[in-house]
Amino acid sequence: MESSNIFLLLSSLLSLLIFPSPPTAAAQLSQNYYSSICPNVESLVHTAVAQKLQLSFAAAPGTLRLFFHDCFVRGCDGSVLLAAANGDDENHSGADLTLSPEAVDTVNRAKAAVDGDPQCTNKVSCADILAIAARDVVSLTGGPYYQVELGRLDGRVTSKANVKHNLPGPGYNLDQLNAVFAANGLTQTDMIALSGAHTIGVTHCDKFIRRIYRFKQPLAFNPPMNLTFLRQMRQICPLNYNPSTFAMLDPATPFKFDNAYYQNLQKEMGLLASDQILFTDQRSRGLVNWFASNQTAFEEAFVAAMTKLGRVGVKNATEGEIRRVCTAVN
């Protein structure tokens, strides 16, 4: 055996000892997956994402939400990015109609930056680029920075039908929220922590209009809303609202990734019923209060839950590919 081979063998054994993969990680994911394939991938993505955020803050919440919707529909496989010629893609189904074009642009810019490095061209999956970008928008808006697991492959399948019942809706109660998260291996704690993503970004009037006016057909449930806040929301969304009108999900600090989301819920200032129910329901209120009082506890739980989210339905080399263009299968 050549001495260089012995060195490689020894160093890989050593790295196994020093960096044991966490026991619950999806088999093929690791934090240093691209260390020899494209060592600069994370700095290339970070620079592209930071530049995009300078142009448009909306890219931050948009990218975070895009990652969530990717992972909950057929796993974290970049399928949410696919654009089918006949329009039968995830992007054109109900819940995904308001996905942010700025987020798609963020991923495309990051992909171009990665592919611009000759060592990396067509070697990094769009699913991984999205996972890195989602981590980066969190830290760039003031949230925690964490090591992101990599090694996902891109799926080849997209369809409107795949979205139905896989994504939670704004009118979901706690049991419904828990069910859709449990279907992805996530606990109620994960769900409450991930809902903290609503500390940035927007929601359109149609998602909460029935909470602020009396309609003939009442909602299945309508958790209480702060009266002052309700009046403000009526100003933003009159009954004849324009469909493109939106309100901030976290009215207190809409551009900062912090735990104000949970403090809002304590004041009955959760805009979506699915947000406010986390405080109204006794089974989840304790954790909302804990995250509201302890930013570190929220951040730790959020990072743990994002890591679990990133392992959902990961595809291997038989089931997936490295897409050349994120919007189309090879």
Ligand X SMILES: *[C@@H]1O[C@H](CO)[C@@H](O)[C@H](O)[C@H]1NC(C)=O
- Catalytic residue IDs: 69
Taking the complex as a whole, the smallest distance from the CB of residue 80 to ligand X amounts, in Å, to 6
> Which of 90/115 has CB closer to ligand HEM?
90
CA distance 267 to 72: 30
Q: Count CB atoms within 10 A of the CB of residue 10.
A: 10
Residues 216-235 that bind ligand X (CB under 6 A): 226, 228-229
Q: Quick one: which of 31, 63, 79, 91 contacts ligand X (CB under 6 A)?
A: 91
Task: Provide the 3-class DSSP secondary structure of residue 325.
Answer: strand
Using CB under 6 A as the binding rule, whether residue 285 contacts ligand HEM is answered as no
Measure the CA dihedral 90/91/95/101, to 10°. Answer: 150
Task: Provide the 3-class DSSP secondary structure of residue 30.
Answer: strand
> Is residue 73 annotated as involved in ligand binding?
yes
Using CB under 6 A as the binding rule, whether residue 157 contacts ligand X is answered as no
**123 interface partner picked from ligand HEM, ligand X, none, CB below 5 to 8 A per type:** none
Using CB under 6 A as the binding rule, whether residue 317 contacts ligand X is answered as yes
Residues 267-296 that bind ligand X (CB under 6 A): 267-268, 294, 296
Using CB under 6 A as the binding rule, whether residue 59 contacts ligand HEM is answered as no
The token pair at 297 is: 């506890």
Using CB under 6 A as the binding rule, whether residue 194 contacts ligand HEM is answered as yes
Residues 13-72 that bind ligand X (CB under 6 A): none
Q: Quick one: which of 48, 64, 140, 212 contacts ligand HEM (CB under 6 A)?
A: 64
Ramachandran region, residue 75 (left: φ > 0; alpha: ψ -120 to 50; beta: rest): left
CA distance 87 to 194: 30
Binning the chain into helix, strand and coil, the percentages to the nearest 5 are 50, 5, 45
Which regions of the chain does DSSP assign to beta strands (E)?
202-204, 246-248
**91 interface partner picked from ligand HEM, ligand X, none, CB below 5 to 8 A per type:** ligand X
**267 interface partner picked from ligand HEM, ligand X, none, CB below 5 to 8 A per type:** ligand X
> Is residue 253 annotated as involved in ligand binding?
yes
Contact string 78-107 vs ligand HEM (x = CB under 6 A): --------------------x-x-------
**Buried b or exposed e, range 143-155, using 16+ CB within 10 angstroms:** bbebebbbbbbbb
**Strand pairing partners for 329?**
none
Q: Which residues bind ligand X (CB under 6 A)?
A: 80-81, 83, 91, 99, 101, 104, 226, 228-229, 267-268, 294, 296-297, 300, 316-319
- Provide the annotated binding site for heme b: 198
